């Protein structure tokens, strides 16, 4: 095996990668993963303690990382975060937009019909997922435009391909993230630099703190009806593991994906390929 060749194609050594939502389950896994591939990682999020825990893991494994506290919906804080990154590392080579999530208040249920969903809850979910992707791209992407290259990875969802029941705002927002990915891939390449690539990953079902209320029955600790349906419609018969996102992320960030832009890659155990029969 030619290890040098693999490093040349997929290695991220010394590249500076910013991960928003880096203190979460999926964002943290991606941050640790790209650090192991050689990147210098900046984890960005609202809760400093969770960010620092990811940084500590990366440093303990021999990597280099920095925690920067910022809200992805606050442009001023993001601009300050960018200044911190440039002061410490001098550039931004990659951006992973892993911040996002849903809210029970924006989810339909027998006790909360569609007609009664509060508009403020819907707006909050849409803002977190869509605006929380757009604003970091505007801030950190500008640094990429200045140097003429970079790789941006957004986090969409399987419901950008197949709308899911109950999660109205989340489905709409993640669909918008997929569309934003395609639009920006064209716009940034044509108007700024063809070396700036924008892609997305679309995770299937991964258990996180944000979706546990939909998938795990509080009373029994077993699967909800929805959880059972998900497993039944996932050909691989299980939920994904956070580390199973890493290889796709490394590939999309790496030189090996230099001619790939505007795509959304499913990581879903075959969910979207299954018609139910």
Domain boundaries, the chain: 3-204+240-268
Q: Which residues of the chain have pLDDT under 50?
A: none
DSSP state of 262: S
| Residue 8, pLDDT score | 86
Give the start-end residues of each E strand in 187-245. Answer: 195-203
Q: What pLDDT shows up at residue 210?
A: 67
Q: Which two tokens stand for residue 35?
A: 């650090």
pLDDT tens-digit readout, 211-251: 777 777 777 877 788 888 988 999 999 899 999 999 999 99
Residue 166's CB is within 10 A of a number of other CB atoms, namely: 15
Q: Which of 5, 170, 192, 239 is catalytic?
A: 170
- Does the annotation mark 192 as catalytic? no
Residue carrying the six token digits 């964002």:
27
What pLDDT shows up at residue 217?
74
| pTM of the predicted model as reported, rounded to 2 decimal places | 0.94
- Tell me the C-alpha distance between 66 and 149, whole Å: 22
- Give the architecture (CATH level 2) of 3-204+240-268: 3-Layer(aba) Sandwich (3.40)
pLDDT value for 83: 98
């Amino acid at each position: 095996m030619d290890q040098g060749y693999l490093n040349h194609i997929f290695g991220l050594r010394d590249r500076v990668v910013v991960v928003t939502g880096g203190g979460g389950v999926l964002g943290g896994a991606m941050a640790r993963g790209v650090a192991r591939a050689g990147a210098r990682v900046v984890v960005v999020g609202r809760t400093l303690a969770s960010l620092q825990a990811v940084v500590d893991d990366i440093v303990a494994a021999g990597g280099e990382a920095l925690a920067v506290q910022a809200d992805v919906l606050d442009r001023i804080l993001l601009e300050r975060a960018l200044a911190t990154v440039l002061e410490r590392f001098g550039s931004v080579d990659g951006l992973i937009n892993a911040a996002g999530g849903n809210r029970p208040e924006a989810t339909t249920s027998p006790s909360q019909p569609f007609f009664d969903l509060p508009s403020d809850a819907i707006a909050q979910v849409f803002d977190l997922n869509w605006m929380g992707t757009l604003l970091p791209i505007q801030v950190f992407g500008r640094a990429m435009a200045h140097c003429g290259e970079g790789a941006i990875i957004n986090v969409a969802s399987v419901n950008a391909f197949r709308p899911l029941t109950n999660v109205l705002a989340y489905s709409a927002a993640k669909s918008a993230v997929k569309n934003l990915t395609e639009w920006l891939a064209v716009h940034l390449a044509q108007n700024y630099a063809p070396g700036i690539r924008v892609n997305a990953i679309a995770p299937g079902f991964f258990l996180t703190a944000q979706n546990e209320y939909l998938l795990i029955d509080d009373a029994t600790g077993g699967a909800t009806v929805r959880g059972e349906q998900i497993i039944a419609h996932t050909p691989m018969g299980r939920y994904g593991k956070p580390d199973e996102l890493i290889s796709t992320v490394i590939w999309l960030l790496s030189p090996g994906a230099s001619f790939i832009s505007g795509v959304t890659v499913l990581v879903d155990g075959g969910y979207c390929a299954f018609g139910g029969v």
